[in-house]
Amino acid sequence: MNIRQLAADAIEKILYKGAYVNITINEYFNKFDLTKEEKALFTILVMGTVEHKITLAYYLEPYLKKKQKPWVYVILMMSTYQIVYMKVENHYVVNEAVNLGNIKDRNIGGFINAVLRNLLRHELRDISADDEIKYLSLKYSYPTWLVSYLLSYYKFIELERLFSYNETNKKCVIRVNTLKASNEEIEEKLKEENVEYKKHDLVENGYVCDKPLMNSEMFKDGLITIQDIASQKVAEVLAPKRGTNVLDMCAAPGSKTAHLAAIMQNSGTIYACDIYQHKIKLMNNGFKRLGVENVKTQLIDARKISEIVRKESFDYILLDMPCSGMGVMQHKVDLKYNLSYQSVEETIKLQKELIEASYKLLKKGGEIVISTCTINKAENEENIEEFIKNHRDMNIIYEKQFMPYEYETDGFFICKLVKE
């Protein structure tokens, strides 16, 4: 099995045919019988090449006189990634690239060889620039519009710290499911399986582990679930009391809903809503694995709940809003290329509608947490500021933006408000 050939094919689908990285990688894993080592190499090649495509294109540009066929360009980019970032032996990279090219066209090997030899003979192009936007774009491979957009909210040093952190590998983060196990029991199991772990002090039941645990017996039995630390913080901030009535407006995939159920010890009722049937099914399966018994899933657009439910019906509401996802670019490496200013503006419009809908459903004296997995202040603080301006009876009792490099988490915004 030629892993580099498979990787090049996958990269072409992602860069030229609109496929998503994580979905594509899983499709190839399901289609081909790969060893653990082959899967690791395939993942690194695909994710790394896609993540750094702007930088790789910048390095290759002087040696390409005209636009190349997609598959040729992919081979050159993937090879440059191995040389620059993976530090693979140069001669091995070149030979593999030539062989890959010759599989499709016996006349292309010489061209690929010449381009890569030229790249190796010269110093890499200088990325330092007086222009902060151009520098960050080229060094960390972010579209210039996105760099410019974020610089309107963050200082240069903050943004560079974020981009630099996003290039580090994300570790496996778990939440102990207290409906089935205690922290102490899970710590014992982790030791038995020789998993190095660190208890995260930001939350009650979160651990950072050195090995993936998605296929572990602990996960299959519902003793743990995979959930980022900042995501775990959301339910802890809402902290619903036992026996209360809770609404999770945009619940899928259900990890925060299940956490709420654990906090409530399966008492009261949680209504978990989503607009897609397959996500409802996904949530129900997850709840069954985790032993969640107090959740009722509802197929409905969250903006329309107030049309069929009596106003001021809920003691607590969780509104984990659809967002741009700028806080999870560390492990969604193609997200930055799929965003646009227009898509962000459309998302903000949807968020405003959801926030307004949530107000009608919250009891007087009730509490709501509004959260996103983005660092974009237009989707976070500015939304909350406008909401409070329009509803003077809503008061903030907790508000925090979690930056990934500060807490080793996803980028998350969490705001808790009470309706006086």
Q: What is the pLDDT of residue 28?
A: 96
Average pLDDT, the chain: 96
Same fold, 3-121 and 230-419: no
CATH 3.30.70 is the classification of domain 176-226: yes
Q: What are 145-193's pLDDT values in tens digits? A: 999 999 999 999 999 999 999 999 999 999 999 999 999 999 999 999 9
pLDDT above 90 for 1: no
pLDDT above 80 for 323: yes
Pick the catalytic residue from 250, 273, 373, 415.
373
Q: What is the pLDDT of residue 363?
A: 97
Q: What are 77-124's pLDDT values in tens digits? A: 999 999 999 999 999 999 999 999 999 898 999 999 999 999 999 999
Residue ranges per structural domain of the chain:
3-121, 132-166, 176-226, 230-419
Q: What are 269-322's pLDDT values in tens digits? A: 999 999 999 999 999 999 999 999 999 999 999 999 999 999 999 999 999 999
Structure confidence at residue 210 as a pLDDT band (50, 70, 90):
very high
Q: What is the pLDDT of residue 45?
A: 98
3-121 maps to which CATH number? 1.10.940.10
The yes-or-no answer on residue 373 being catalytic is: yes
Q: What is the pLDDT of residue 129?
A: 74
Fold of the domain built from segment(s) 230-419: Rossmann fold (3.40.50)
Q: State the SS3 of the chain.
A: CCHHHHHHHHHHHHHHHCCCHHHHHHHHHHHCCCCHHHHHHHHHHHHHHHHCHHHHHHHHHHHCCCCCCHHHHHHHHHHHHHHHHHCCCHHHHHHHHHHHHHHHCCCCHHHHHHHHHHHHHCCCCCCCCCCHHHHHHHHHCCCHHHHHHHHCCCCHHHHHHHHHHHCCCCCEEEEECCCCCCHHHHHHHHHHCCCCEEECCCCCCEEEECCCCCCCHHHHCCCEEECCHHHHHHHHHHCCCCCCEEEECCCCCCHHHHHHHHHCCCCCEEEEEECCHHHHHHHHHHHHHHCCCCEEEEECCHHHHHHHCCCCCEEEEEEECCCCCCCCCCCCCCHHHHCCHHHHHHHHHHHHHHHHHHHHHEEEEEEEEEEECCCCCCCCHHHHHHHHHHCCCEEEEEEEEECHHHHCCCCEEEEEEEEC
